[in-house]
Amino acid sequence: MDSTVYVDNNATTAVAPEVVEAMLPFFHEHWGNPSSMHAFGGNVKRHIDDARDKVAALLGAAHPSEIIFTSCGSESNNMAIRGTVDAMGGHPHVITTRVEHAAVLGPCHHLEDRGYRLTTLEVDGRGGLDLDKVREASASGKKTVASVMWANNETGVIFPVETVGGLVKEGGGLFHTDAVQVAGKLPIAVQGMPVDLLSISGHKLHAPKGVGALYVRRGTKITPHILGGHQERGRRAGTENVPYIVGLGKACELAMRRMETDAANERRLRDRLEAGILATCKGARVNGDSANRLPNTSNISFEFVEGEAILLMLDDVGICASTGSACASGSLEPSHVLRAMDVPRSMIHGSIRFSLGRYNTDKDVDYVLEQMPRIIDRLRELSPFV
Ligand code: PLP
């Protein structure tokens, strides 16, 4: 195979051709400043409004004004957590989980370092939450901001955010969910959910990198983190990134139209890939609750082999996947998500995440299935632990 087989869609997705097409006029035709008084600039504003409508529609928001455009999912998460904590005042109790993305754990630990009380909820071996612990933490009697992801980027495990949000709200707290891996993969109807804030990122749903959005339910107090101009109703200053916002709008429109077909295709391919690997590679097991996962994600551990070595060999044959582990300062640090799930020592270093996407085909799966057994056998031969 001389082209790349890309099965790393939770890391990023290809920009859809329809999205590129929608963006292009905003570089060389409609490049005015939407805040300008003249029509050349001012007319651009309605395209931002149109994109906002489309994002609001994908999320099922009651009103487009509940959508704030940001630069990425990380910014949305930071804004949600730090902005609400600041607006609430009086050092609220912050609640999160051990398996969040760094873009949630980072701001939570930042607050903890500054004296805020932080509760980090544990997960079980399948990556699930103990709802009694959520209830207990939410009923601490203090003002609370809780941030619990909707679906995990490494394992695809879905948290019952409806229930979690309900428990947080019962305790009188604010609830934020990181839905970066959910938008475009599962239906979202935020208006009817006990969710005050919700983050998404453009590049996970076929828009470009460098654009995201934060849903903020009407009436939720949030302190802006970029001060200056009046853009985004004064909630995020800075001249709007018009082409990218238009691209995000288009990607959301496409996602609404294609979600069902895309998800069904990704699920079929993922299941075929996973079953094939489990059948042909010895010592392989799926990490996380396989019945309660995103349709596109499969995180598989291979006993006594290093995930990084698998990735390098996959890369050599043109396959892009990723590993839960990251190589930090020369030592191989296992993934914080798999550690939280108590994945056994012999398995934790050998995990690979395959994440399927809109443009994957059966041919891609065939090719990965052809390569994997050879790679695992070869690495097992070299492993000092076998
Ligand atoms: N949250 C989750 C669950 C993610 O998977 C990611 C990206 O991998 C982010 C947040 C950060 O998004 P961005 O890359 O747009 O900053």
pTM passes above 0.75 = yes
Closest C-alpha residue for ligand 1 atom 13: 73
Q: What is the pLDDT of residue 142?
A: 78
**For the chain, what are the domain ranges?**
5-12+258-382, 17-255
Q: Shortest CA distance to 317 belongs to which of 243, 370, 385, 271?
A: 370
Cα(362)–Cα(368) distance, rounded to whole angstroms? Answer: 10
* CATH of the domain spanning 17-255: 3.40.640.10
Is the pLDDT confidence value at 1 over 80? no
Q: 325-363 pLDDT, tens per residue?
A: 655 444 568 899 999 999 998 899 999 999 999 999 999
Q: How does DSSP assign 278-336, residue by residue?
A: HHHSTTEEE-S-TTSB-TTEEEEEETTS-HHHHHHHHHHTTEE-EES-EEETTEEEPPH
Is the pLDDT confidence value at 378 over 80? yes
The residues annotated with a catalytic role in the active site are: 327
Mean of pLDDT values over 241-249: 98
Distance from the alpha carbon of residue 331 to the mean position of ligand 1, in angstroms: 24
* 74 Cβ below 6 A of ligand 1: yes
Q: What is the pLDDT of residue 331?
A: 54
Per the CB < 8 A criterion, the answer to whether 279 and 85 are in contact is no
Domain 5-12+258-382 architecture: Alpha-Beta Complex (3.90)
Q: What is the pLDDT of residue 254?
A: 98
Q: Shortest CA distance to 94 belongs to which of 29, 145, 164?
A: 145
pLDDT bucket at 384, cuts 50 / 70 / 90: confident
* 73 Cβ below 6 A of ligand 1: yes
Distance from the alpha carbon of residue 180 to the mean position of ligand 1, in angstroms: 6
Average pLDDT, the chain: 95
Residues 73, 328, 301, 9, CA torsion sign: positive
Per the CB < 8 A criterion, the answer to whether 225 and 93 are in contact is no
Q: What is the pLDDT of residue 303?
A: 95
Per the CB < 8 A criterion, the answer to whether 216 and 193 are in contact is no
Q: What is the pLDDT of residue 83?
A: 98
Mean of pLDDT values over 141-170: 96
pLDDT bucket at 185, cuts 50 / 70 / 90: very high
Q: What is the pLDDT of residue 382?
A: 84
DSSP tag of 185 = T
Q: What is the pLDDT of residue 328?
A: 44
Topology alike, domains 5-12+258-382 and 17-255: no
Distance from the alpha carbon of residue 38 to the mean position of ligand 1, in angstroms: 37
Mean of pLDDT values over 378-384: 86
* 357 Cβ below 6 A of ligand 1: no
Q: 19-69 pLDDT, tens per residue?
A: 999 999 999 999 999 999 999 999 999 999 999 999 999 999 999 999 999
Structure tokens at 255: 């996602």
Q: 79-137 pLDDT, tens per residue?
A: 999 999 999 999 999 999 999 999 999 999 999 999 999 999 999 999 999 999 999 99
Structure tokens at 364: 């891609």
Q: 311-320 pLDDT, tens per residue?
A: 999 999 999 9
